[in-house]
Amino acid sequence: MRNTREIIGEEKVKSKFGLEFLKPSHRKKEIERKFLDEWEKIFKETNSAFKVLKNRLKNRIVELKKERRRGKKIIGYFCNFTPEELIYASNSIPVRLCSGSFQATFIFDENLISDTCPLIKSSFGLILSNSLFYNFCDVIILPLVCDGKRKLSEILSEFSDVWILKIPRTKSEIDKYLSDLYVIKEKLENLTGNKINRKSLENSIKTFHKRTEVFREFLNLKKESPGLIGSLETNLIGFTSFFDDVEIWTNNLKKICENMKRNKKEEKENKIRILLTGSPIIFPNTKILKIIENYANVVVDNFCFTEHLYHSVEVDDWSMKGMMRALANKYIAPSICPCLLSEEDRIDRTLQLIEDFKVDGVIYYQLRNCQLFDLEYLKMRQVFLRKKIPIFKIVSDYSTQDTEQLRIRIETFIEMIKRGKK
Amino acid sequence: MKLEILRRIVRILSFIIIIYGGMIAYYFGIRNFPVIPISLPISYAAGEKTFFDKNYGIHFFEDILMTQLPIYLILTTSIVFLISLILFGSSWCGWICPLGVLQDGISFVRRFFKINGFKLSKKIEKFFDYYRYFNLFSILLLSFLIGDYFINITNISSFRDLHGKVSVSKTSCPGTALCFVRGELETTIKRLTPPSQPIRLFFYFLGLFSLTLYLGSFFIDRLYCRICPTGAINFLFNRGSFLSIEKNTQKCTKCKVCLEVCPMGQEKIYKEKISKNVDSYRCLKCFKCVEKCPEDNALQIKLGKYTIFSSKFKKVEE
């Protein structure tokens, strides 16, 4: 009996160690079309000031191709535990591979029907199908964060070079991470042939510091007039930082901030203010943002990638060791990722944001099958209820099936806040 | 105003006044200084070429134990000392102490050339926490054994040899480096040559040890301050002094910059999660942590009720 898949005409991809995966070439077009459609659509809904970013995705893909032909290395990474500064200092390009594409998850499902984290499924799919900017990486740096990423590193190592970055389980073990950074640094130097010396690292730290400065300015703008910048915009900005060049990104955001300052008057009407936190909502998985925006203003979205932009490497001692220490500190110490024993750091941070942005209610988003975010919620809920801040958890994945159900639940939650306010 | 600039100005001014002030006064013909009641007992003026040659901190306490000082001197100086400690805690260490200023100067050279430094591990830091007080009490005990009172009571011969000849706190003080700065090369050489007497050799090595620690501040910030006996006294008054650091635990993002910046490796400011009060024993009150903190108003310097300075996110300098 012939395999049904063979009838359809699907080829198989052989990995380094002889494992066979279905070749997802038929998916590639669909993924890219959907992705670009969403990309176009989002600019119709967002503020006109954000038009600057519109061409960035397509242009960047062309740019990356060019740079690669010129011999620059492109280094993919996951999570906000990978030091971009180091990659940038070695004169190669960091590209973050975390993905939110629903279509890409099918590629994983075709090979193995499983209940894993959709982020991992999707990223795997995009990398296997070589779509968009996900296909240029010479090396993938994968921090061993949660269990999903741990195993993903194994799977991905079948197709490309994967460097593992060990992440400590507690924040006090920061020295282990630091020693691992030195390993990554050496590997980067060997790959690119460029020495990461004091000057290049100092330069790159300063460049990334400027990114933080502009992002904080952007957040301040949001704080002053919260209706002006919605969560779609913030999410877009976060997402563009995944693939865009730092300097271009910083300049673009600067332009956006200036534009926004000029248009300050056109504020939306007074809506309920929502803080959105939890698992990262990565473009094009923006369905929840769109639902909430219908009923309320999302004034803060506190995800790992926005936090990553918010923090900067603060160096006191500009020697090589001092800078590396500061790097390690930045990536581990203020992290709110639940994979670390963060000791209520996330709760403190969220409480502070609630105070700063005068938030009415909190929506906690959890990607389906993410244990860590699920368990983190337990403590958070108790603390928030004690402080009489309404908090509400939604569990969802990248599929659009549950949109209506989510809409009803979110609407009722916001209705409840409104009544509570009166 | 930038705290860094203010600190530098205060440090350089106080360094000049303390180290060269006596010489300057001597040059202008002022021979006898009255006791100036500012935060520290400044006396024994111009004749000694400095404002205070004998009497600050550990040297003062040693003098009390060793020689029969007039009571009015003991009272006035100790009261002034106490009041300054209650008001400002150990900010003497971070802002004025010439030994500290010179150490910072040494580490500034390292920072300027961007040479790799070290950080002490937690274990060593903890060891020094105990050693500092061991150092203080051993100095006080030894000076008491050598001093007038003990000799008057008992007649132990080995101590009799040393009576009035050795000052424990001074031999174990890295002030040798300061003598060098002051232009007293003779004293420096005298202190650096090993003595012939075997008992004195012990004190000689004690001094050499602290001098190496002192010069070690090239690689490790404020290394000598880890064992400084005067600091040991100052640190005791740190908690509850009027000049204090306050932390907003909610605003803090635990980014660890305060610990990274701290010359004494004090973890309390980073780790504290409940209480506002983050003053700790091992703290110089240099307020570097407040200055470098990237979170707006997360750390504040308070004088009593009033906020003097609060932290702010800073743009990187070109």
**Concatenated DSSP letters of A179-227:** HHHHHHHHHHHHHH-----HHHHHHHHHHHHHHHHHHHHHHHHHHHSTT
- How close A377 gets to chain B, by Cα (Å)? 19
Contact A320 B251 (CB under 8 A): no
Contact B250 A352 (CB under 8 A): yes
Q: Give the A window 333-362 contacts with B, CB below 8 Å.
A: 333-334, 343-345, 348-349, 351-352, 355
Question: What does the alpha-carbon distance between residue B318 and residue B316 come to, in Å, rounded to a whole number?
Answer: 6
pLDDT band, residue A170 (cuts 50/70/90): confident
- How close A101 gets to chain B, by Cα (Å)? 31
| Predicted pLDDT at B164 | 66
Question: What does the alpha-carbon distance between residue B299 and residue B246 come to, in Å, rounded to a whole number?
Answer: 6
Contact A334 B316 (CB under 8 A): no
Contact A311 B114 (CB under 8 A): no
Q: How many CB atoms lie within 10 A of CB B264?
A: 24
Contact A319 B117 (CB under 8 A): yes
| A302/B contact by beta carbon, under 8 A | no
- Chain A residues with beta carbon closer than 8 angstroms to that of B112: none
What letter would DSSP give residue A277?
Answer: E
Q: What is the ipTM of this complex?
A: 0.84
Q: Pick from A318, A321, A330: which is nearest to B255 by CB?
A: A330
- Chain B residues with beta carbon closer than 8 angstroms to that of A209: 315-316
| A182/B contact by beta carbon, under 8 A | no
Mutate to test the interface with B, among A197, A327, A351, A352 (most CBs of B within 10 A): A352
- How close A217 gets to chain B, by Cα (Å)? 11
pLDDT band, residue A6 (cuts 50/70/90): very low
pLDDT digits (tens, 9 = 90+) for A196-230: 888 899 889 999 999 999 999 888 888 877 677 77
Question: What does the alpha-carbon distance between residue A251 and residue A344 come to, in Å, rounded to a whole number?
Answer: 35
Q: Residue A234 pLDDT more than 80?
A: yes
B interface residues, A as partner, C-beta within 8 Å: 110-111, 114-119, 249-257, 260-261, 273, 288, 292, 294, 313, 315-316, 318
- What global pTM score does this model have? 0.87
| A329/B contact by beta carbon, under 8 A | yes
Q: Pick from A198, A343, A349: which is nearest to B253 by CB?
A: A349
Q: Residue A8 pLDDT more than 50?
A: no
- Chain A residues with beta carbon closer than 8 angstroms to that of B110: 319
Retrieve residue A367's tokens: 């990607």
List Cβ neighbours of B98 (8 Å cut-off, separation of 6 or more).
Answer: B14, B15, B18, B19, B178
Question: What does the alpha-carbon distance between residue A105 and residue A99 come to, in Å, rounded to a whole number?
Answer: 10
| Predicted pLDDT at B234 | 86
Top pLDDT among A324 and A268 is at A324
| Predicted pLDDT at B127 | 92
Q: What is the DSSP string of B66-90?
A: HS---HHHHHHHHHHHHHHHHHHTT
- Give the sign of the dihedral formed by CA B203, CA B206, CA B212, CA B214: negative
Choose among B30, B26, B88, B93: nearest CA to B58: B93
| Predicted pLDDT at A4 | 43
| A415/B contact by beta carbon, under 8 A | no
Per the CB < 8 A criterion, the answer to whether A160 and A140 are in contact is yes
Retrieve residue A171's tokens: 């924040």
Cross-strand bridge partners of residue A163: A141
Q: Which residue of A has its CA nearest to B118?
A: A321
Contact A325 B260 (CB under 8 A): yes
Relative to beta strand B40-42, strand B243-247 is unpaired
Contact A314 B110 (CB under 8 A): no
- Chain B residues with beta carbon closer than 8 angstroms to that of A306: none
Top pLDDT among A23 and B108 is at B108
Tens-digit pLDDT string for chain B (318 aa): 588 888 889 988 888 877 776 667 667 766 555 443 333 333 333 334 444 444 567 777 777 777 777 777 777 777 877 888 888 888 888 888 888 888 888 888 998 998 888 888 889 989 998 998 998 888 888 888 887 777 777 766 666 666 666 777 777 778 777 777 766 777 778 777 887 777 778 888 888 888 888 888 899 988 888 888 888 888 888 888 888 888 888 888 888 888 888 888 888 888 888 888 888 888 888 888 888 888 888 888 888 888 888 888 888 775
Q: How many residue contacts between A and B have a Cβ separation below 8 Å?
A: 74
Question: What does the alpha-carbon distance between residue B311 and residue B253 come to, in Å, rounded to a whole number?
Answer: 13
| Predicted pLDDT at B215 | 86
> Mean pLDDT throughout A32-38?
84
Lowest mean pLDDT among A46-50, A59-63, B204-208, B251-255: A46-50
Q: Which residue of A has its CA nearest to B107?
A: A317
> Mean pLDDT throughout A117-132?
82
